[in-house]
Amino acid sequence: MTESATIQAAKKISPIWLIPLLALFVGAWMLLQYQLDKGQTIYIKMANAEGIVAGKTEIKVRSVKIGVVDAIRLGDSRDHVIVRAQIDKHYDSLLTEDAKIWVVRPRIDETGVSGFSTLLSGVYLEFSPGESKRTVIRFDLLDEPALIGNDVEGARFKLSSRNAEVLEVGTGVYYKGYKIGQIETAHFDWDKQQMRYGLFINAPYENLVTLNTVFWVQSGIEVDLSADGISVKTGSLSKLIKGGISLGIPDGDAPGPLVSEGHTFSLSESYNAALEQRFYDFEHYLIQFEQSIRGLREGAPVEYRGMRIGTVEQVPAQVLIDGAPAHFSDSSVSVPVLIRVEFGRLYRDTQMAREYWSNSLQGWLNQGLRASLKPGNLLTGAVYVDLDMYPDMEPGVLGKRGDFTVFPSTSSGISALANQVNDVLNKVKNLQIESSLEQFEQTMANYEALATDMRTFMNDPSTRTLATDISKDMADISQSMRQFEESMEQFEITMASFQNGSQMYQEMQSTLEQVRRLMDELQPLSRGLNEQPNMLIFDKELAKDPTPRSKD
């Protein structure tokens, strides 16, 4: 086509055809401008749309409107509701992935009355922005209001509870009666059969949470029955209705090291129970008992000569050896029990206690340290694990079974008594009972014959007369003995008069002296009479002179 032809064709087009094209262009531009002015569209998933009205229900942050609900429909599965809302373009940056949305309606809880204004204006959706940098357009509606905003300073911790009562979201956390936080989340772990709670502790009270902090359920009413009477203490109305969680450090303990945010603690049903569960530094040991473990329960104490040093953890221990339970994996069929030695029970400084235990254990085993079962309550039949010294035992060593250290054990208590009785019965069984019985029967026969002879002898008349004579003679002997005793008494009196120093003794000494002098004087006379008997009549003859002998 030539240039002149093109010009001729353009002249034939009517200007009226440009109007629709221009209108279409303007409409597209206005629609785009509208979308840009309208802001981001978000979708909220909720269980039901109670109180939500399209075109009326607002979305607010701190009571400031940032959007409005414009459509409501059922989800594809018909088990939930999808709410579409338009967010003002100035607040697109608030749509982070960790943001929270919940319905604000009138509520009465421990914090008081909230949402009362919605009775007139209707419910609205509260939007709590998060801290993430990533934005999303799909959200899930919370069943309960988010109690703690993301801008509130503090720290979050976790609690696990198996036996304590179930607590609600919003229940307060107290330190010495002062509220420092609250339960933020609560759900039941059906797999492990325990409750799990999320706690938020307001700043700066998160510094009260240390490694040795214990948590327990604080009821609204405390009853103390003592010798002074009954004492009843009641807390605040919120405690009375919903209870609470108390935290603290056991009496006498120093604060431990601070824990990182997200640390999990155990929630106990009472303070006394919390004291038993506060020992986090421990060592596991596996004890294989060659006896019945009837009466041994999880939580039973492990003691050393009356001092508790640990706790029984599993009865029987859930240990697999070569794919089979440990108590059925060997020929001895011993029953394994898992215990833990808790170093905080040995000494407050757990690190020092651990080092002392590790350095001393082998020496104790060499001296006969063994584990045994001892009766704890004769009425209930409960038993406990007792560690004690048995000097007669050979030196022991720690073994290994699976992932656990095996602690040596010994039988004791009723089992040891049964073994001793069994040994005695075996010895009795080895005795020659029949021959002993025959000898015993022969001895009894001889005894019966002797008894018959004695009976005959005693019944004989001469024996009776003999007894009479013996009695008479014994009477005479008794009389003679009395006379002899009287004579001896008189002799003692007489002899007493002759004792050295008495008057008679002195007189006797004087007399004897005179007799001695007399004897000395009479000796010449006696000698002369012996030589010349008639010397008293005639003079004493003088001795003749000696005559000398001749030499012949």
Q: What is the pLDDT of residues 374-399, one digit of tens each?
A: 888 777 778 899 999 998 888 888 88
**What is the percent of the chain where pLDDT is above 90?**
12
Contacts of 172 (CB under 8 A, 6+ apart): 110, 179, 181, 182, 183, 238, 239, 242, 244, 245
**3-state per-residue secondary structure call for 236-302:** CHHHHHHCEEEEECCCCCCCCCECCCCCEEEEECCHHHHHHCCCCCEEEEEEEECCCCCCCCCCCEE
Strand intervals (E) in 343-424: 369-377, 382-389, 399-401, 404-407
**Residue 506: alpha-carbon gap to chain centroid:** 92
Q: What is the mean pLDDT of residues 492-515?
A: 66
Contacts of 458 (CB under 8 A, 6+ apart): none
pLDDT single digits (tens) 41-98: 899 999 888 888 898 999 998 889 989 999 999 988 888 999 999 988 888 888 888 8
Averaged confidence pLDDT in the chain: 76
pTM here? 0.47
**What's the rounded Cα separation, in Å, for the pair 158 and 264?**
4
**pLDDT higher at 318 or 202:** 202
**What is the percent of the chain where pLDDT is above 70?**
65
Q: Which of 53-57, 71-75, 117-121, 363-367 has the lowest mean pLDDT?
A: 117-121
Would you place residue 109 in the very low, low, confident or very high pLDDT band (cuts 50, 70, 90)?
low
**What's the rounded Cα separation, in Å, for the pair 232 and 301?**
32
pLDDT at 228: 43
Q: What is the mean pLDDT of residues 266-290?
A: 81
